[in-house]
Structure 1
Amino acid sequence: MTYQEFNKSLREGRIGSLYLFYGIDEYMKDYYIKSIRNALLGDNDFNYIKIDGKINARELSDLCDEMPMFGQKKLIVVKNSEFFSGKGTANLDLDFLSDLPEFTCLVFREDNVDKRSKAYKTLDKYGIVIECVRQNDTMIGKILTKAAMQQSRKITMDAINLMISGLGDDLVMLLNELDKLIKYTVEGDVITDKHVRKVCKLSTSQRIFDLTEALSLKDSGKALTALKFLLDNNESTQFIIVMVARQFLQLYDTKCIIDDGGSVRDVVAILGVRDFVARKLVDQCRRFSKKELKDSFENCLKMDEDIKNGLIKDETALELIVAGSRSGK
């Protein structure tokens, strides 16, 4: 069952009696369970039972058979039961899952499952199994946009893309960062990439991207800002130079793909980057010739070697990098 199919089933009032949500996306697991709880119980907490950790299969069966209090339905959520891990449970008998009472909805929330285990096969036969994988950029954008709107804010696509690029695609973490942005702004504000840069602690790789972006634009001011951030975060000069070299190499590879008639989609497939990152790489590489990118890459490697051999000071090497943005070389 997909995300869309799940939401459609809830809208139509078709709530199953048995679910298994597993995988690495914590946000989606919580989303599915919260949606079932709201649809089934509303504000009624009497019939919501949460079990965290291992439980005996017999005890769980008895719990499922108990009548709900002050309502027609009850929801039991079992987190990390390890019934489906395959570790000592390969032949675990969960036959009671085939005949749950009509008033019980049983949900398992697991990190990992072994699809070869008897327990998994039993649940897959009688219930609904959904693997919660990382969401794509489009879905993440929709979720962040909706979350911002619920707090009377708007958020630009540039801000969303920067959050994904600079923070990762873990939705729980992204929503926590969005909460910081909401607290930093006021109702009616539009959250932009400038807010993200000011409030969120972006990854080193994103700051390196910012540095090479500034170099490609011959903007020494932005280059110095990106460089200062990296140094303030105790990144070593040699690490910065090596990472900048890596970025120039990626730009060179992008340039080769585009010059050979390739597209953004080809850059995504060959370099293994996200779509919006590929678009930025394509935009950046068009400001350089192949020779400039190759020379910049080799120059970074030479400076790294010269630092190791004591032929140049760290500060001088960084000054030479930024000097390139001033002179346009």
Structure 2
Amino acid sequence: MEKLRQDIRANQFERVYLLYGEERYLVQMYKNQLKKAIIGDDTMNLNQYTGKGLPVQEVENAVMTMPFFADRRLVLLEDTGLFKSSDEQWSNLVKSIPDSCHVLFVEQEVDKRSRMYKTVKECGYCAEMTHPSMQQRTQWILKGFGRYGLKITQSALDSFLEKTGDDMENIRNEMEKLASFCMGKEGITKEDVDFVCTEQIENRIFDMTQAVAEGKTQYALELYADLLALKEPGMRILFLIARQMNQLLCVKEMEVGRQNKDQIAAALKVRPFVVNKLLGQARQFTIDQLTSCVERCVELEEAVKRGNMNERIAVEMVLLSIANREYHA
């Protein structure tokens, strides 16, 4: 991402860029910044295309058209799916982009083995937007609240980080809500965060697995029903449960290996207070039980994908397996 910032500051641009990755906030931010830097508010020299099955000849005509009373033309292509294939026509088009035009691809996912990815990497720059580290998120949050003239206590910051997760768009939205609520106050407290901020699904998954670990299976099923009422897909819930159990397994193995909390936090890229919560839950299981739970999640996920099981039933069976500490040698 430093490369993008340098190009924008220097007003010197590659002929082609690819922006992609899990952190959609950064993808959109850099898309808008590049667009603004390359052509400003000039819509006469902007061609935009969205979706799969784009006509390559039409896009090529736009790319080869000289800019109108300007130095540069921008062709913006989003969600094309081209980076999962090996289309020679598109690859040749990228190689022939003239100096008067810049092409910006914005994609959800890419295959780095594809011809298009390799061509763009050779002819321009590919930027993968990943979630920022815990330290980067913390600095961003503190700076954001600082712009509102607000300070936040450590306990409030910990709670805010836990509730908002690692998605920057969600963090920004929750930050705006919390700042508006706390305007005129001396600072932000944990009580403010708990009252204003929305719990992320990952935290509800933790509560669900905690409930079954404590033998509160009925409560866990009620939490699951709440998630379904919020239109959360069953497969996503199953995936998150599997990820949670796998994280507990990692924590358990590192603790048995005599790694301390700071080492575990660094390995998992989470804050120490999160490690404390994970350790508390992991200590209610053996390594064999956690391993079996992870394997059970994989089995049931495959059964759903094959059409042999309903998503809702699969999640309920996983929760019951965790509650019963099922272990298969």
Q: TM-score w.r.t. structure 1 length?
A: 0.62
Name the structure 1 match of 2:318.
Answer: none
Q: CA deviation at 1:198?
A: 0.8
Q: Does residue 40 in structure 1 map to residue 38 in structure 2?
A: yes
1:133 corresponds to which of 115, 130, 133 = 130
Superposition RMSD on alpha carbons, in Å? Answer: 4.2
Q: CA deviation at 1:90?
A: 4.6
Name the structure 2 match of 1:305.
Answer: none
User: Does the CA contact (< 8 Å) of 1:141 and 1:157 recur in 2?
Assistant: no
For structure 2, the residue ranges without an aligned partner over 5 or more in a row are 208-218, 225-240, 285-329
Give the partner amino acid of 2:270: R
Structure 1 stretch displaced more, 19-28 or 166-175: 166-175
Name the structure 2 match of 1:9.
Answer: 7
For structure 1, the residue ranges without an aligned partner over 5 or more in a row are 211-230, 237-242, 286-292, 295-329
Q: CA deviation at 1:68?
A: 2.8
User: Does the CA contact (< 8 Å) of 1:161 and 1:276 recur in 2?
Assistant: no
Name the structure 1 match of 2:62.
Answer: 63
3-state SS of 1:64 partner: helix
Structure 1 Cα separation of the partners of residues 82 and 205 of structure 2:
45
List 4+ stretches of structure 1 deviating above 6 A.
207-210
Describe the superposition over 1:104-160 as per-residue Cα deviations: whole angstroms up to 9, x where unpaired.
221100111122222222111101011112221122223333443444544555444
3-state SS of 2:83 partner: coil
Structure 2 Cα separation of the partners of residues 5 and 197 of structure 1:
38
Describe the superposition over 1:34-71 as per-residue Cα deviations: whole angstroms up to 9, x where unpaired.
22123223344443433221322221111112233443
Name the structure 2 match of 1:97.
Answer: 94
* Cα 1:149–1:49 shift into 2, 3 Å: farther
Give the partner amino acid of 2:133: N
2:195 corresponds to which of 193, 198, 204 = 198
Structure 1 Cα separation of the partners of residues 182 and 136 of structure 2:
24
1:277 corresponds to which of 270, 273, 276 = 273
Structure 2 Cα separation of the partners of residues 60 and 16 of structure 1:
18
Structure 2 Cα separation of the partners of residues 126 and 52 of structure 1:
22
Name the structure 2 match of 1:220.
Answer: none
Describe the superposition over 1:255-284 as per-residue Cα deviations: whole angstroms up to 9, x where unpaired.
x949x86433332367x46133356559x9
3-state SS of 2:62 partner: helix
2:117 corresponds to which of 109, 115, 120 = 120
* Cα 1:257–1:93 shift into 2, 3 Å: closer
Structure 2 Cα separation of the partners of residues 149 and 69 of structure 1:
43
Name the structure 1 match of 2:293.
Answer: none
Greater Rg over alpha carbons, structure: 1
Describe the superposition over 1:184-227 as per-residue Cα deviations: whole angstroms up to 9, x where unpaired.
232686334332211112247758989xxxxxxxxxxxxxxxxx
Q: Does residue 108 in structure 1 map to residue 105 in structure 2?
A: yes
Q: CA deviation at 1:18?
A: 0.7
Structure 1 stretch displaced more, 184-193 or 32-41: 184-193
User: Does the CA contact (< 8 Å) of 1:76 and 1:106 recur in 2?
Assistant: yes
**Equivalenced residues, count:** 257
User: Does the CA contact (< 8 Å) of 1:151 and 1:182 recur in 2?
Assistant: yes
Q: CA deviation at 1:29?
A: 0.7
Structure 1 Cα separation of the partners of residues 205 and 90 of structure 2:
54
Q: CA deviation at 1:20?
A: 0.5
Q: CA deviation at 1:73?
A: 2.1
Structure 2 Cα separation of the partners of residues 97 and 137 of structure 1:
37
Task: Give % identity.
Answer: 22
Name the structure 2 match of 1:289.
Answer: none
Structure 2 Cα separation of the partners of residues 92 and 99 of structure 1:
11
Structure 1 Cα separation of the partners of residues 46 and 145 of structure 2:
29
Structure 1 Cα separation of the partners of residues 42 and 149 of structure 2:
28
